Amino acid sequence: MIKNVAVIGGGASGYFFAINLALNCSDVKITIFEKTSKILTKVKVSGGGRCNVTNAVSAPNKLAENYPRGKVFLKKLFTKFSSSDTIKWFENQGIILKTEPDNRIFPESDSSQTIIDCFTRIADKYRIELRYNAPVEFIQPTENKLKLNSSELFDYVFVGAGGNSKLEGYNWIDEMNHTIQHPLPSLFTFNIPDKALKGLEGVAVQNVRMKVEKSNLQSEGAFLVTHWGISGPAVLKLSAWGAEELAAINYTFRVFVNFVPSVNPEITRSEIASFKENNKNKLVYGHRLFDLPSRLWERLVELSEIDKTLKWCDLSKQSLNKLAENLTNFPFDTRGKTTFKEEFVTCGGVSLEEVNNETMESFKIPNVYFGGEVLNIDGITGGFNFQAAWSTSWVAAQEVAKKINAIT
């Protein structure tokens, strides 16, 4: 007997569940309900349109360490479907992936369309029905079925509706007696209305260390100056780990940046003193240290109140110390955040205590499964959020397939 399965959400988790169920189960009719007129939107824009599919970190324990929320929950799932399994899955579908130096993994084509085409090709092959502009208003258990909206009945439902920035977006799940952890932005950039950054737009530093004042929050990674403030992996990681703490202070805080994290402040002072001794007649302004971008070095020299005409031999101990301080502990006052609608990531969502991480089935309503960002799971930047989507959806698909195959 054919079983009807509803998939709520036409994003990464919804599609991955649907196609994996189709690949493992023949006696099934799958319908995807997408509330908008577009599918796989985050897949399309991820990684600047290249799609950061996953990360090369594959050991379950180490992989789970990259999730500010969901770490313990995901460890079990990653033993069933880790990033190495993701790579194999795509390779089995004829998709060649490549690993970049920072461990991010992309399709060799450098195009997210490669992933989208893969998903839609499988969906078309197995005649998965896709309904656009079809929001789900409620799921109601009735006899041995699950009723969606006003009338349609399904045997199983997978909820892969993605994250939502507003609590009201989860009302229909809340009405299913599931607890919703209040959603908050994660992976956002910092708005810095400081004149110190003016004219530095586009300047990037390969590795910095950042620390939030009066907090244990810190991170390390690449750093980018934008038109509105600062961004890059170091900032995004800090925002993920500090999502709740930074929201509590209304995104108003001071963050200190060490532009040369490979050396401590005292060693920096020593290296500057040594450079001063060996380059006495050279201009400080025109001879940068630590391979920093020229525009950034010149700005830090200016902010250290060192005149452009000064030579290294003219540098006073006070100026030397000021320059070292700016290099290793430069303060930025953050006044708000910037998020990007298409790539919006939230913490919060369905409480993990109410979902079985062996099967992804709801503890509240039998035959309802969850996956992806609708859960209170979020990872740092680098392909980790997609990996959580793949793992949760894959496990759910295997479990539903087992049930259907056992019956038929």
- pLDDT 10s digit of each residue in the chain, 408 long? 899 999 999 999 999 999 999 999 988 999 999 999 999 999 999 989 999 999 999 999 999 999 999 999 999 999 999 999 999 999 999 999 999 999 999 999 999 999 999 999 999 999 999 999 999 989 999 988 999 987 899 999 999 999 888 899 999 999 999 999 999 999 999 999 988 899 999 999 999 999 999 999 999 999 999 999 999 999 999 999 999 999 999 999 999 999 998 766 666 778 878 888 888 888 988 888 888 999 999 999 999 999 999 998 888 889 888 998 999 999 999 999 998 655 568 899 999 999 999 999 999 999 999 999 999 999 999 999 999 999 999 999 999 999 999 976
Q: Could you report how far apart the first and last alpha carbons of the chain are, in Å? A: 6
Domains of the chain, by residue range, sit at 3-185+343-407, 189-338
DSSP string, 79-127: HHS-HHHHHHHHHHTT--EEE-TTSEEEETT--THHHHHHHHHHHHHTT
Strand partners, 230: 190, 225
Query: How many CB atoms neighbour CB 78 within 10 A?
Result: 22
pLDDT of amino acid 341: 57
- Categorise residue 242: left if φ over 0, alpha if ψ from -120 to 50, beta otherwise: alpha
Residue 393 near residue 32 (C-beta atoms within 8 A): no
CA atoms within 13 A of residue 317's CA, in its CB half-sphere: 0
Residue 371 near residue 381 (C-beta atoms within 8 A): no
pLDDT of amino acid 265: 64
Strand partners, 229: 191
Query: How many CB atoms neighbour CB 351 within 10 A?
Result: 15
Q: How far apart are CA 325 and CA 74, in angstroms?
A: 41
- Written as one letter, the residue type at 48 is G
Residue 285 near residue 310 (C-beta atoms within 8 A): yes
Q: How far apart are CA 84 and CA 59, in angstroms?
A: 9
Residue 392 near residue 360 (C-beta atoms within 8 A): yes
Q: Answer yes or no: CATH 3.50.50.60 is held by domain 3-185+343-407.
A: yes
CA atoms within 13 A of residue 104's CA, in its CB half-sphere: 17
pLDDT of amino acid 150: 76
What is the DSSP pairing of strand 139-142 with strand 129-131? unpaired
Give alpha helix (H) positions in 182-316: 233-241, 243-248, 265-278, 294-303
Q: Given CA atoms 335, 341, 346, 348 in this order, what sign does their dihedral have?
A: positive
Q: How far apart are CA 268 and CA 224, in angstroms?
A: 22
Residue with tokens 């490549």: 98
Check: pTM over 0.75? Answer yes or no.
Answer: yes
